[in-house]
Structure 1
Amino acid sequence: MPALIVPTTRLHTAWLEAHDEWGPGSHEDGFGLRPSDEVDSPAGFAAWVARLGRESGQATIEAHRVHCTYRWIVEGDQVLGGIALRHGFNDFVQAAGHVGYGIRPSARRRGLATWALGRILDEARKHGMDQVLIVCAADNIASAKTIERHGGVPEGIRDTHLGPARRYWIKIGRTAT
């Protein structure tokens, strides 16, 4: 049974296995990984996990000043993917969306992205968000279907620095207090 967890140094080896499966140059959305992050050594990995906010699961992306909640999708001691919820709405969120996620290739087609997106939308609701923007590559039909399963309404396709991207809005409403 999958779980969403706060990033942890305990899963260093398992995370590296997932990272290696993506291969060099591949995009691993949802992990908050930057090109400058050194994750191979225990010290570098610990620094990266600390930057993600291991204690609270939240951090600020300094270059874009976006408050973010990171979660790893795990099953047992295996890292299957990652998902991030970006709070607020600035230029970075306008381009990348409120939610980013990625599932390692060997774990795809199991419904994990759909499941994880549902959980992170619950988190967005708890943070008082009424709606979220989700962006995916225009040719990523699997991701588009995942977003649409959660009520994603297409805004259109825009050209980005990574190529054409589909943009969706999901209305989630607030949790009653």
Structure 2
Amino acid sequence: MPELIAPAVRLHSAWLEAHAEWGPGSHEDGFGVGPSDEVDSPAGFAAWVARLADHRCTYRWIVEGDHVLGGIALRHGSSDYVRWAGHLGYGIRPSARRRGLATWAMGRMLDEARVLGLDRLLAVCAVDNVASVKAIERCGGVFECIWDTKFGPARRYWIEL
């Protein structure tokens, strides 16, 4: 049974295993890994996890036992980044996909958004990411438009809370 937990230093090895499964690149939305984050060493990983706790996002990891299956972020506010990337960012490791985990985790984060007093959330995904389109729509996402970004066309959805 999956759980949604705050990032935890104790899961360093499990997180590295999930990270390695994705391979190189910045395609693990929901984890909050920045280009300057050093996550391989225990000290670097602990510093990164501590930074996540102080961030203007609510980060959660999707775990099952001692396995990290993915991550999800609820971005607070309406910064330029939120207007571009949306309030929600998530990623599911390749071996854990097609289980409904993104939809499940997004539903839990909508509850956290309500607690924060948010009344609607922007969700954005690549136009060809069928799995994300389905997850967003299952969570009540209403399509707004397709717009061009520096990474290619993206679909924008609003989720009313």
TM band (smaller chain): over 0.9
Aligned residue pairs total 161
Aligned partner of residue 28 in structure 2, secondary structure:
coil
CA distance in 1, matches of 2:150, 2:26: 15
Task: Specify which of 68, 89, 94 is matched with residue 105 of structure 1.
Answer: 94
CA distance in 1, matches of 2:101, 2:158: 20
1:175 alignment partner in structure 2: none
The one-letter code matched in structure 2 to 1:50 is: A
CA distance in 2, matches of 1:102, 1:9: 19
CA distance in 2, matches of 1:84, 1:74: 14
CA distance in 2, matches of 1:25, 1:151: 30
CA distance in 2, matches of 1:18, 1:35: 18
1:24 alignment partner in structure 2: 24
1:95 alignment partner in structure 2: 84
- Percent of residue pairs identical: 76
1:37 alignment partner in structure 2: 37
2:123 alignment partner in structure 1: 134
The one-letter code matched in structure 2 to 1:105 is: P
The one-letter code matched in structure 2 to 1:135 is: V
The alignment's C-alpha RMSD in Å is 0.7
CA distance in 2, matches of 1:90, 1:30: 17
Query: Unaligned stretches of 5+ in structure 2?
Result: none
1:163 alignment partner in structure 2: 152
- Cα deviation for residue 26 of structure 1 reads 4.8
Task: Specify which of 71, 78, 81 is matched with residue 82 of structure 1.
Answer: 71
Query: Unaligned stretches of 5+ in structure 1?
Result: 54-58, 61-66, 173-177
The one-letter code matched in structure 2 to 1:10 is: R
The one-letter code matched in structure 1 to 2:57 is: C
The alignment's TM-score, normalised by the length of structure 2, stands at 0.98
CA distance in 1, matches of 2:139, 2:22: 26
CA distance in 2, matches of 1:4, 1:151: 20
The one-letter code matched in structure 2 to 1:165 is: A
Superimposed CA distance per residue, residues 20-71 of structure 1 (whole angstroms, 9 cap, x where no aligned partner): 0000125000000011111000011011001001xxxxx33xxxxxx21000
- Cα deviation for residue 90 of structure 1 reads 1.7
CA distance in 2, matches of 1:91, 1:35: 19
1:149 alignment partner in structure 2: 138
The alignment's TM-score, normalised by the length of structure 1, stands at 0.89
Superimposed CA distance per residue, residues 63-109 of structure 1 (whole angstroms, 9 cap, x where no aligned partner): xxxx2100000000000000000111121100010000000000000
